[in-house]
Amino acid sequence: WGEWLMATELDRVDVVTVGVGWTGGIVAAEAAKAGLQVVGLERGRERGTEDYQNIHDEYKYAIRYELMQDVSKETITFRNNPDQRALPMRQMGSFLLGENLGGAGTHWNGQTWRFLPYDFEIRSMTEEKYGEEKLMEDEGYRLQDWGITYDELEPYFDKFEKTCGISGEENPLGGERSDAYPTPPMIKTRILEMFEEASSGLGHSPIMMPSANLSEQFENPDGETIAACQYCAFCERFGCEYGAKSSPEVTVIPTARKTGNFEVRTHANVVEILTDEEDESQVSGVRYVDTRTGEEFIQPADVVVLNSYVFNNYKLLRVSDIGQQYDPETEEGSLGRSYCYQIFGGATGYFDEQFNTFMGAGALGMAFDDFNGDNFDHADLDFLHGGNISITQTGNRPIATNRIRPDTPSWGSEFKKESIESYTRTLSVSGQGATLPHKDNYLDLDEEYTDVYGVPLVQLTYNFKDQDRARHKYLAERSVEVLEEMGASEVVQNSELGDYSIVPYQSTHNTGGTIMGDDPEVSVVNNWLQHWDRDNLFVVGAGNFVHNGGYNPTATVGALAYRCAEGVIRFAEEGGRLEEE
C-alpha cells in the first residue's frame, strides 16, 4: 500500500491508545491513575454532552448517521464465500460503526449483560456434558475456550458496572455476582408487566434488563456523576443530552483527564503499528495521519494498546505484519479467524389495546435466559447455545418504525390506516442469539479496494450456518409462545434465516478476528490481552471474543478492558510476558 512520506517524530510516552471509546477510555483512566503518561489517538473529533442538546432529530442521527463512521473514507468489503467478489459497503447497513470521541459507546442503547460462565469455557463444558461429537467439527465449527473463566473475569465485570452505575437486578440464570448492581432497575411499564406475567406463566425467569440508562442519579467510584434517565426514547444512534446514559464521555474519559497524565489527540488516524527495529518482540510506537492537514506523525510509546473497533484492530495488525493471517484452507494462522455476528429470532404481536410505544429508553426491557447458553438441554437439538429472549420499550420513532401486517399494501389508504393503527398496538419479542465460530467465516485484507489513505480495506467473508438457522427458528418459536400468552390477537413469526446480507441493520455486535486464548497457534492475545508476538502490544475489544454469545457485548468488552488495563500497568512495572496469577 505504498511508502509514507517523512513523518514528524514526537516525544515518547508511556502508553498510547489507538482509539478513545469504551476500551481506550478505560485503559487511559486506569493507566493515568497509576501515574503513567498516556496519549489517546482518536481519528474523529472531540465531543461531549454539550454537543447533544439538539439531538432529537431522527432524520439527522438515526437515518443519516451523524455520529457514525464515514464509509466514503473507511469501510469494509463483503462476500458470503470466497467464490463471490467482495464489494464495499457504501452506506451503513448491517451494523453501525462509531466515530469520534467515545466511539460506539456514545450511541449505544445501554443493554449491559455479562456473558455466561458457559461462554468462556464453551468447548470444554460442551464436550464434558454431550461428548466430542456435539462440537460438530466435521461440519466446520471450531469452538474454543477463551483462556479465562467467568470467575476470573467477575471482578472486572463488577468494576465496569460500578463505573457505569448500571441499573439492574440479579439474574437467577446468570453467573454468580460478588456484589449487587449499583442502582435499582428502571421503571416497569405496562408492556414489561405483561411480558413478565406471560413468561412467568410459561415457567421462565424474567428479570429487568441491566441498563446503562440509569434509574437514579449516581456518583461512580471515580467521582463522576451520571444523571437519571428521562425516558425520552432517543438512545440508540443518539448521544444523551442529559448525561444519563453511561458513555465514555461522562465516565472514564473525564476521569483520565483529571489525573493530568492523559492527552486526547483528535483527528489522528493511526495507519501503522511500528515494530522495534532492534527487538522484533517489541513495538516502538505508531504512525498516524492528521485527518485535517494530511501531516504524518510517529508517536513512540513504551506500550501500545489497540482500542479501536473490531475491524480496525484487525486491520492495523495485518497491515503492520504482526501475527500470522488465518488461512481457511489449511486453518493455520490466528489473525482474522473466528469472526462471528448474531441472530435475532423473534416475532411481532398485534394487540387490540394501545400502549405508549413512543416512550422508553435504550435498555428499558425485561428478558429471560431459560434458552440462553446451556441453560436448557441440547442433547436432542441440532444446535448449541441459544439466546436471551426479551421485550424492550426503546421508543418507536416515527420515521424508522412502521410495523404493519404482512398482507398490507405498501402504499395507499389501507397502508396509512394500518400504519396508524399498528403504531401503538404492536409489540415485538425477540431472542438475541449466539453465533459460533466456523472455519469459513473470517477477516482478511481486500486486494482491490483501499481507504482514503491508500491502506487496504478489511474484507469480510461471512455467512450464517445451519446451526444459526436452527437456533434462529427455535428462538422465534419461543417468542411466539410469549406473545400469545401476552394476549396478542395476531402473532407473526420472523421469517426463517437465509444468507447473511450486509443490509438491513441487524446489530453492531461484531466479534472475533483478534481472539484471545491460551494457545498462540489459534489465538492472537493471551488472557491479559497481550499480543503473543509483541510483549508491549495489547489488543482489546469484542474482536477478542472467541464466539458471540446471546447478549449485547459491551459489558464483556468493558470487563476485558479493565483486565487489559491491569495488564498494561503490570507490564509497565515488570516488563516481559505476563503470566496468569
Answer whether 303's CB lies under 8 Å from 432's CB: no
Mind spelling out the 3-state secondary structure of 214-279? Answer: CCCCEECCCCCEECCCCCECCCCCCCCCCCCECCHHHCHHHHHHHCCCEEEECCEEEEEEEECCCC
- Please report which residue ranges of 34-149 form alpha helices under DSSP H: 58, 117-120, 122-130
In the beta sheet, which residues pair with residue 88? 77
The DSSP result for 108-127, as a single string, is: ---B-PPPPHHHHTHHHHHH
* Enclosing H/E stretch for 423: helix 413-423
| 378 is a catalytic site residue | no
Answer whether 240's CB lies under 8 Å from 207's CB: no
Our measurement of the distance from residue 227's CA atom to the centroid of its chain's CA atoms, rounded to an integer in Å, reads: 24
Which SS3 state, helix, strand or coil, does residue 310 take? helix
3-state class percentages of the chain: helix first, strand second, coil last, to nearest 5: 25, 20, 55
Residues 6+ positions from 525 with CB-CB distance below 8 Å: 514, 515, 516, 517, 531, 532, 538, 539, 540, 544
Answer whether 227's CB lies under 8 Å from 25's CB: no
- Which residue's entry shows cell 489497540? 306
Which SS3 state, helix, strand or coil, does residue 193 take? helix
The DSSP result for 445-509, as a single string, is: EEEEEE-TTSPEEEEEE----HHHHHHHHHHHHHHHHHHHHHT-SEEEEPPPP-S--S-S---S-
The closest of 115, 21, 107 to 432, measured between CA atoms, is: 115
The closest of 547, 533, 581, 540 to 561, measured between CA atoms, is: 540
The closest of 520, 524, 536 to 335, measured between CA atoms, is: 524
CA 99 – CA 268 distance, rounded (Å): 12
Answer whether 510's CB lies under 8 Å from 339's CB: yes
Residue of 472, 509, 531, 547 with catalytic role: 509
Which SS3 state, helix, strand or coil, does residue 303 take? strand
* Total residue count of the chain as it appears in this document: 581
Residues that are catalytic = 509
